[in-house]
Amino acid sequence: MKGTVATLAYAPVKGLRLELVDELELTASGPRGDRQFFLVDENGRLVNNKGLGVLQQARARYGAETRTLELVLPDGEVVGGEVAFDGVVETSFWGSQRPAQRVNGPWSDALSELAGRRLQLVTSVDGAAVDRGADAAATLVSTASLAALADELAVESVDRRRFRMHLYVDGVPPHAEDGWLGRRVRVGEAVLVPRGNVGRCAVTTQNPETGRPDLDTLKALARYRGDVQTTEPLPFGVYAAVAEPGVVRVGDAVEVV
């Protein structure tokens, strides 16, 4: 079974709007620069767009070589500068403790104003801010799966950014990726090994431009995916370990090997 890479996406700051790109360098910890930063509240607990959909109205651009971070806010204002750190703090990341470096600069204030609550921008000390660790360094779903969900919802199309996946694959049947668990999948220069299904949450109901809920994706998944064999409930797409790092570009072949 062969397909092609249709879309690539990543987010330099976890929870902010996805950036669509022409290529990604996949490393053992995920796409280089993906979720390089994340946000915590005054108690050090992870904050993302699940509870604060408005964060999707902001975009982030990070230049690793120059260590410069730019935020583009909803009104078009750009907040940027060179990243500097201000000590290590303990953060609570989905219930586990994770050390992080506090980021010193204008970004925390800008995102706090947008969110309407005090937030602190941090960067992980021990790798990218990936929910499931190295087993979920990369995520993928087929565009045919998106089309099947659109049919279930009786809408013309579903914006792929709702699912915040790294890779979207053309040319394979709906939910073909479910059958790739445990198998090696060559994607461009990289090889992935899908480890499990991505169980979906309320983030997918949010409009990826506004962050406001406007489509009941969860109810639709419960209707037509509720009885499938899965590693997580309400499955849509898969998460994968990166067995062989490499660069992936839009148009590259995707093949189960």
pLDDT tens for residues 43-54? 999 998 888 999
* One domain, residues 78 and 201: no
Q: How confident is the model at residue 124 (pLDDT cuts 50, 70, 90)?
A: confident
* One domain, residues 97 and 121: yes
Outline where DSSP puts E strands in 12-95.
Answer: 19-21, 23-27, 30-31, 37-40, 46-47, 59-63, 68-72, 78-82, 84-93
Average pLDDT estimate for 128-145: 87
pLDDT at 243: 97
pLDDT at 193: 98
* One domain, residues 250 and 147: yes
* One domain, residues 116 and 168: no
pLDDT at 128: 63
* One domain, residues 99 and 162: no
* One domain, residues 119 and 214: no
Task: Report the mean per-residue pLDDT for the chain.
Answer: 94
Range of the domain at 250: 2-10+17-29+134-256
Please say which residue of 69, 99, 131 terminates a domain: 131
pLDDT at 130: 67
Residue tagged 């779903």 (tokens): 141
Quick check: 237 and 141 in contact, CB under 8 A? yes
* One domain, residues 246 and 178: yes
Average pLDDT estimate for 205-224: 96
The CA–CA distances, whole Å, from 82 to 52, 68, 77, 120 equal: 26, 4, 17, 16
Residue 240 has pLDDT above 80, yes or no: yes
Domain with residue 210: its CATH number is 2.40.33.20
Q: Report the percent of the chain where pLDDT is more than 90.
A: 86
* One domain, residues 21 and 47: no
Outline where DSSP puts E strands in 125-210.
Answer: 138-142, 167-170, 185-187, 190-199
* One domain, residues 87 and 165: no
CA distance 108 to 252: 37
Please say which residue of 131, 165, 187 terminates a domain: 131
pTM: 0.93
* One domain, residues 118 and 23: no
The CA–CA distances, whole Å, from 181 to 101, 113, 222 equal: 35, 42, 21
Instruction: Count the domains in the chain.
Output: 2
Please say which residue of 103, 131, 159 terminates a domain: 131
